[in-house]
Amino acid sequence: MVIPVEDSTDPRIADYVRLRDVDLRKSLEGGRGLFLAEGEKVIRRAIAAGHRVRSMLMTAKWLDRFADLIDGDGDGDGDGVTVYLVSDEVMEGITGFQVHRGALASMERRELPSVAEVLRGARHVVVLEDLVDHTNVGAIFRCAAALGVDAIVLSPRCADPLYRRSVKVSMGSVFSVPYARLKDWHDGLAELRDHGFRLLALTPAESAVPIEEALTGERTALLLGSEGDGLSSRWLAEADQGVRIPMSREVDSLNVAAAAAIACYLLTAAAR
């Protein structure tokens, strides 16, 4: 069903308000149990992963591309999705000053699996502690998917993989890589160890072992810390070993997404 909407404050499109206001979106999306997917590829991946579409928002030029969803053939439940059709001006008012390049879908969140569920059968796991940047979270999911990491575990405060920017940067990998969130930060790593995982803490510290020398275990969890400070001293102490990516110059460093790419490549190399 296609419903024209002419006013950006129309309550029917309230799922999409103030897209560039990160704090507002966090509380809104959590409160309503939704997330936004952007662009055809990502929207279709979200649907394929079983997420239900609450509604879509687009300008007229995109209608044909989503005809199957509007007719109800493409979204799995046989009901057509509701599309709110807006002008370029309204779309731009909603999405901010950069002209938006596609359609948006508001999707229902599902309950996350437990940590035990995502660890079952996994060999190579990445654990993210308190990352704040949604671009980095999305980039790490994309790497994990491409390189065959089995699951991702998030600290309680780690940025949301279903935030619009994460979803977009991940190219929808947040729908294909199983992930769970620890309930407890302080003692949360014990659950990974109980499942037989060896915990490697990625750190730039000179005293750490070069990562390639440490990738010997059957089940390995790679711990990655936040952008500014890296891993907390608590998690560094809890890990079985500190590992580092050898660098050429002491003054330079890798950002967490680049470090994750290299570490995930090495972590899963033997299994690919």
* Residue ranges that bind its own copies, judged by CB under 8 A: 20, 96-97, 139, 142-143, 145-148, 171, 173, 176, 245-249, 252-255, 257-259, 261-262, 265, 268-269, 271-272
| CA distance to 109, 263, 270, per residue, from 267 (Å) | 30, 6, 8
Closest CB to its own copies among residues 69, 261: 261
For residue 217, the minimal CB distance to its own copies (Å) is: 19
For residue 26, the minimal CB distance to its own copies (Å) is: 17
Can you tell me whether residue 36 is helix, strand or coil? strand
Strand partners for 126: 152, 222
For residue 250, the minimal CB distance to its own copies (Å) is: 10
For residue 98, the minimal CB distance to its own copies (Å) is: 9
Closest CB to its own copies among residues 49, 116: 49
CA–CA separation, 229 vs 269, rounded Å?
28
CA–CA separation, 83 vs 12, rounded Å?
11
Closest CB to its own copies among residues 74, 148: 148
Closest CB to its own copies among residues 133, 160: 133
Can you tell me whether residue 54 is helix, strand or coil? strand
For residue 245, the minimal CB distance to its own copies (Å) is: 7
CA–CA separation, 34 vs 134, rounded Å?
17
Closest CB to its own copies among residues 2, 258: 258
Strand partners for 153: 127, 180
Backbone angles phi, psi at 232, to 5 degrees: -65, 160
Strand partners for 199: 221
For residue 262, the minimal CB distance to its own copies (Å) is: 5
Q: Nearest-5° angle of CA 247, CA 252, CA 256? A: 80
Token couple for 257: 């997404």
CA–CA separation, 40 vs 46, rounded Å?
10
For residue 263, the minimal CB distance to its own copies (Å) is: 10
Closest CB to its own copies among residues 56, 214: 214
Q: Is 144 within 8 Å of 172 (Cβ atoms)?
A: no
Closest CB to its own copies among residues 143, 236: 143
